[in-house]
Amino acid sequence: MSGNDLEQARPEVTRRRRRSCRTSLLLLLVLACLTATVLAVSAVRWQAALRNSGISTLGADPDLNFAQRLYLQNYLANRGDELRQPAGDADDISFVISAGATADVVVNNLVESDLLNEPELFLNYLRFYGLDSALQTGQFTLNGRLTVPQLAAMITEGSARDIVLNFLPGMRLEEIAQYLTVTRPADIDPAEFLALARRQRRFDLDRYPFLNSLPAQASLEGFLYPDTYIVPPNANAIYLLDQMLQNFDRQVTPAMRQAFGAQGLSLSEAVILASIVERETMTEEERPLIASVFLNRVQAGMPLQADPTVQYAVGFQEDKSSWWKVPLSLADLEFEHPFNTYTIPGLPPGPIANPALGSLQAIAEPAQSDYLFFVLDCLSNPASRHVFSRTYEEHLVHVQNCR
């Protein structure tokens, strides 16, 4: 080809190249528009799914990389219906998360407890929000009606953990209320608890047949079983009273109640005596012997002359911030009050405290003795045991040892 021919061909090649570039650019532009349209539609649909699912991207774990975040967002957004459904099938049950338990272990335990049907969904929810590393150890009251977000909140928020309450044997109602005032557990109002327990506010006792013979004006003193209670964070005064009464019903077996009856005692009378035994000694092995003394005095028609009943009657001591006055004065022993068993024969009108099982068992199975008196053994070290007597003269000798 001659030089002139080359010169004439170059413009044509250039024009062809330009047309090809323009076509390619146009195709790229069309493709970009189509891609943008698809992405826009997908984004709108994804945003709608995200809104409907209740998933918020604001709380996502900042440690997730882009790919993880994108995958989990889409995964959860497409399962909005499942996130709004109950997570499991179980009714209220106690669930424990042990120290050091991983998210996988906890999820497996939830599945085994019928609290969770979709473990993958729950794990991905935890991981998206970084909750897999925020699990709280402790005991929880959970049920299958909780949704995945609700279940996750329950086991990752410390405030959702069950609350442990310890009620000591021998506490009277006011001491229980005082304990509740100091600890302020759950939604339990101490004033409401006291009013309900004193029967100053209506509390339905139909669920507790063992209280059928309880007089309408009688308080629940003596029947609130002292124990450790684990209550949910939304427990109220009625819930706690129900748990304590049900516990009493379980602990005081039919055999024990039959043993009370064999001694001519109603359940209420047995609880009254058990509450006095509870306040008289802290020594487990002494309880059946002290129970025998009071039962012997009842059978002999003698006044009980139990110091704890006078302490109950005298009430709160401001100077010592105590409901149990020690020591009692002669004036206290003469204090006119229905609960003073020095001045009024027979059993007091009701229990003076809430006795432990050991004191109740001591009334059911008292020691076989003919003792009628006892006093603190001041010669023992420490002076925590009692010395027992059959006669008043013998008793006076032991009393002199403490002066």
Number of domains within the chain: 3
Count the Cβ atoms, other than its own, within 10 Å of residue 399: 16
Residue at a domain's end among 136, 161, 186: 161
Q: Which residues, 6 or more positions from 350, have their beta carbon under 8 angstroms from its beta carbon? A: 218, 219, 221, 222, 268, 272
Residue 401 lies in a domain: no
Quickly list DSSP for 305-326: --HHHHHHHH--BTTTTBSS-S
- The predicted-structure confidence for 252-279, as pLDDT tens digits, reads as follows 999 999 999 999 999 999 999 999 999 9
Name the pLDDT band for 325 (thresholds 50, 70, 90). Answer: very high
Residue 256 lies in a domain: no
Residue 187 lies in a domain: yes
Residue 219 lies in a domain: yes
Distance in angstroms (rounded) separating the CA atoms of residues 160 and 136: 9
Distance in angstroms (rounded) separating the CA atoms of residues 209 and 201: 19
In 3-state terms, what secondary structure has residue 236?
coil
Residue at a domain's end among 161, 195, 228: 161
Residue 23 lies in a domain: no
| Cβ proximity of 278 and 356 under 8 Å | yes
Q: Same structural domain for residues 53 and 72?
A: yes
| Cβ proximity of 377 and 383 under 8 Å | yes
Q: Same structural domain for residues 153 and 176?
A: no
Residue with tokens 């090649």: 13
pLDDT at 36 over 50: no
Q: Write the CA distances from 13 to 4, 27, 234, integer angstroms.
A: 15, 21, 84
Q: Same structural domain for residues 193 and 279?
A: no
Q: Same structural domain for residues 49 and 157?
A: yes
CATH number of domain containing 157? 3.30.1490.480
Q: Same structural domain for residues 98 and 180?
A: no
Residue-level pLDDT at 51:
53
Q: Same structural domain for residues 309 and 341?
A: yes
Backbone CA torsion sign across 34, 37, 39, 42: negative
Q: Same structural domain for residues 148 and 190?
A: no
Name the pLDDT band for 52 (thresholds 50, 70, 90). Answer: low
H helix or E strand, kind and range, residue 94 = strand 93-97
Residue-level pLDDT at 159:
79
- The predicted-structure confidence for 375-389, as pLDDT tens digits, reads as follows 988 877 666 789 999
Distance in angstroms (rounded) separating the CA atoms of residues 144 and 88: 4
Output the pTM of the full model.
0.75
Q: Same structural domain for residues 59 and 146?
A: yes
For the chain, give the mean pLDDT: 88
Residue 176 lies in a domain: yes
Residue-level pLDDT at 381:
65
Name the pLDDT band for 24 (thresholds 50, 70, 90). Answer: low
pLDDT at 44 over 50: no
Residue 356 lies in a domain: yes
In 3-state terms, what secondary structure has residue 33?
helix
Q: Same structural domain for residues 86 and 111?
A: yes
Distance in angstroms (rounded) separating the CA atoms of residues 33 and 14: 28
Residue at a domain's end among 161, 179, 210: 161
Distance in angstroms (rounded) separating the CA atoms of residues 374 and 363: 17
pLDDT at 16 over 70: no
| Between 216 and 329, the higher pLDDT residue | 329
Q: Same structural domain for residues 107 and 133?
A: yes
Residue 78 lies in a domain: yes
Amino acid at 35: T
Q: Same structural domain for residues 60 and 156?
A: yes
Its domain, for residue 220, covers 163-250
Residue with tokens 């189509």: 34
Q: Same structural domain for residues 138 and 214?
A: no
